[in-house]
Amino acid sequence: MKLSLALLGLITFSLPISFAQADEHSALKPVPRTGGWITRHESFNKRVSQGKVDLVFIGDSITQGWEGAGKSIWQEFYGERNAVNLGIGGDRTQHVIWRLDNGNFKDITPKAAVIMIGTNNSGANSSQEIADGITKIVKQIRNKSPKTKILLLAVFPRGATKDDGRRKVNEGANALVSKLDDGKHVHYLDIGPNFLKDDLTLPRDIMPDLLHLSPAGYKIWAESIEAKLATLLKD
């Protein structure tokens, strides 16, 4: 049965819109943001061009929070380690991909890079799509700085209980990216259980809004990765 010309025209007209919508939410296509985001991005570029960088943290608002709720913990653990915080609130994998290709990793060879990104993708992307974005970020760092050891953290748990939809999406992504661990250049570590109670609920004294960390949460983060991170920084 032949489609009517009107229906065919409707389908043809609709396809670009669908593709545009899908493209907008792609976890892989590098895109910048605007406003204060660009200002912070450029400040990163300036910082990495000014001196020795041994350690970088790459991520979103949870990583940026090392400058807020986690400030004293950062100073305690990383203040004398030539560490740079490359976290920007609201970032998704596609934004980090753009940043890494536009100066945030230019001409530096950190001993270690800590990556924790993807939770902001969990509303629009599947576990596989998030994993693809994270995989791209790992490959970028490997290509730009082959000597850098990557500590790839599982996306932290979010939401009140184990039934939270976005937590499940993140867990699916974690299961996929855990396979990137090669025991040599990329080291996967899931510290998520350290934030949770025995019944897998997320306490508000650790994540007050069930997403972002309190000072106690940042202390758990730092203590949970210290043994592995210290080893990577020595290699």
Task: Name the catalytic one among 41, 95, 187, 212.
Answer: 212
Task: Name the catalytic one among 163, 199, 205, 209.
Answer: 209
| Cβ neighbours of 51 (radius 10 Å) | 9
Task: Name the catalytic one among 25, 54, 61, 185.
Answer: 61
Please count the CA atoms within 13 angstroms of the CA of 235 that sit on its side-chain side: 18
Is residue 133 within 8 A of residue 92, CB to CB? The reply is yes
* CA dist., res. 102 & res. 26, Å (int): 18
Catalytic residue list contains 14: no
* CA dist., res. 104 & res. 108, Å (int): 9
Residue 128, H or E segment: helix 127-144
Strand ranges for the chain from DSSP E = 55-59, 83-87, 112-116, 149-153, 186-189
SS3 135: helix
Catalytic residue list contains 41: no
Catalytic residue list contains 26: no
Active-site amino acid positions: 61, 209, 212
